[in-house]
Amino acid sequence: MTAIYDGPIIDPHHHLWDLSLGRHPWLQRPVGQEADMVFGSIDAIRRDYSAADYLRDAAGENIVATVHVEAGWSDDVPLEESRWLDGLDRTNGVAHRYVARVPLDCTDAAARLAAEAENPRVVGIRDIVSWHPDPAKSFTPKPDRMDDPRWRDGLRAAARHDFVFDLMLFPWQMDQAVRLVAAFPETQFVLDHCGSPAERSAQGMALWRSGLRELGRAENVAIKISDLVAYDHDWSDESLAPVIEHCLDCFGPRRAMFASDFPVAGLHATFSEIYGVFRRAAAPLSLDEQRSLFFTTADRTYGLGLASNTGTDESRYG
Predicted confidence at residue 317, as pLDDT, reads 33
Q: What is the DSSP letter of 236?
A: -
Nearest alpha-carbon partner for 88 in 126, 122, 119, 50: 50
| Cα distance from N-terminal residue to C-terminal residue, the chain | 35
Global pTM exceeds 0.85:
yes
Q: Indicate the SS3 state at residue 123.
A: strand
Nearest alpha-carbon partner for 181 in 162, 195, 196, 165: 165
CATH level 2 (architecture), domain 38-308: Alpha-Beta Barrel (3.20)
Residues 145/146/147/151 CA torsion (nearest 10 deg): 70
Helix (H) / strand (E) containing 69: strand 63-69
Predicted confidence at residue 32, as pLDDT, reads 55
Predicted confidence at residue 99, as pLDDT, reads 98
Q: Which residues pair with 126 in a beta bridge?
A: 101, 166
Q: Are 160 and 136 in contact (CB under 8 A)?
A: no
Question: How many other CB atoms are there within 10 angstroms of residue 286's CB atom?
Answer: 11
No. of H helices and E strands in the chain? 10, 8
Cα 283 from Cα 3, distance rounded (Å): 6
Cα 257 from Cα 190, distance rounded (Å): 10
Predicted confidence at residue 19, as pLDDT, reads 95
Predicted confidence at residue 132, as pLDDT, reads 86
Q: What is the DSSP letter of 59?
A: T
Q: Indicate the SS3 state at residue 60.
A: coil
Residues of the chain with pLDDT under 70: 1-2, 30-37, 308-318
